[in-house]
Amino acid sequence: MSAITVIGSVNLDFVATAARLPAPGETVTGATLARHPGGKGANQALAARRLGADVSLVARVGADGLADEALALLAAEGVDLEQCDTDASAATGVALIAVAAGGENQIIVAPGANAAFTRDHLTAPAAGALICQLELPLETVAAAVAQASGFVCLNLAPAAPLAPAALARADLIVVNETEAAFYGPALHDLPGLIAVTWGARGAGLFQGGRQLAAAAPPPVEAVDATGAGDAFVGALVVALLEGQPHAAALAFACTAGALAANRPGAQPSLPTRAEVEACLETVR
């Protein structure tokens, strides 16, 4: 079983699902509201756990009534939360998510305790592989990467100017099309693997500017794209750590992402190992 440490964000998601998303300045009514645990760090930790990895989450939540709800699924499914600390001076992070009938979404995040996670809160190097995203202060992410001795995955989301040394240290960088455009061609000058996701068109895996593999997701009905990218990240890291060939690992990750987009919510939508493997069998 792969050992993975995720250092990242924890949020509680408030998800309003409506027939369509509002234009700027417009009010859309008739929505339904749901609450789900979220945050890219927590999502990727649970994604990797459901796919068979032994996962620890290093994170911070507020001393408020939202914290237990935000951590509930992680605790229930065996993610190690020993290094998930409470910040008495900050609120638990919250994401306000609007979802259209076709699955497209808009997200606003109030990071709360995530923004107060400084490098001083990193008490020990990551055990096993490390997954980080950019929903924490960039200095904290760079410090976590510098301390790591094993496999490092950086999900550059949301896109931001991370220290070049952290980018160069990563064994795997995952970006979507928008994030890839932010970093530009220099992304492909980095030494590690670069995974670029293209939504319903699948994903590609590159190194040194050369495409190593491409994969398309299985056909699914898009319900809510929230969490699909996190499912992809968790799945790709698990597959690569298991030694799966590049093409197989990418197909595994695309399938996990597609299954997550087929269900509402971030963490509730994340698929199990059995579900991903069953779906892969149907398309072979």
Residues 114/117/123/127 CA torsion (nearest 10 deg): 40
The tokens 């998930």 sit on which residue? 84
Mean pLDDT of the chain: 93
The tokens 């935000």 sit on which residue? 70
The pLDDT of residue 82 is above 70 = yes
Confidence label for 1 from pLDDT (cuts 50, 70 and 90):
low
Confidence label for 102 from pLDDT (cuts 50, 70 and 90):
confident
User: Over the stretch 104-115, which tens digit does the pLDDT of each residue have?
Assistant: 888 898 999 999
If you average pLDDT over residues 36-41, what whole number do you get? 93
Give pLDDT, residue 266: 75
Give pLDDT, residue 227: 81
Give pLDDT, residue 284: 66
The pLDDT of residue 244 is above 70 = yes
Give pLDDT, residue 50: 97
Amino acid occupying residue 196: V
The pLDDT of residue 204 is above 90 = yes
The pLDDT of residue 222 is above 80 = no
Catalytic residue annotation: 230
The tokens 């234009």 sit on which residue? 23
Q: What are the angstrom distances between the C-alpha of 200 and each of 37, 149, 176, 219, 276?
A: 24, 35, 12, 9, 17
The pLDDT of residue 57 is above 80 = yes
Q: What are the angstrom distances between the C-alpha of 41 and each of 24, 55, 136, 242?
A: 29, 11, 9, 21
Q: Which of 12-16, 53-57, 170-174, 230-234 shows the lowest per-residue confidence on average (mean pLDDT)?
A: 12-16
Closest CA to 137 of 122, 153, 152: 122
Of 219 and 136, the structure prediction assigns the larger pLDDT to 136
Q: Can you list the domains of the chain with their CATH numbers?
A: 3-283 (3.40.1190.20)
User: Over the stretch 135-191, which tens digit does the pLDDT of each residue have?
Assistant: 999 999 999 999 999 999 999 999 999 999 999 999 999 999 999 999 999 999 999
Closest CA to 158 of 113, 215, 122, 109: 109
Tokens of 215: 């994969």
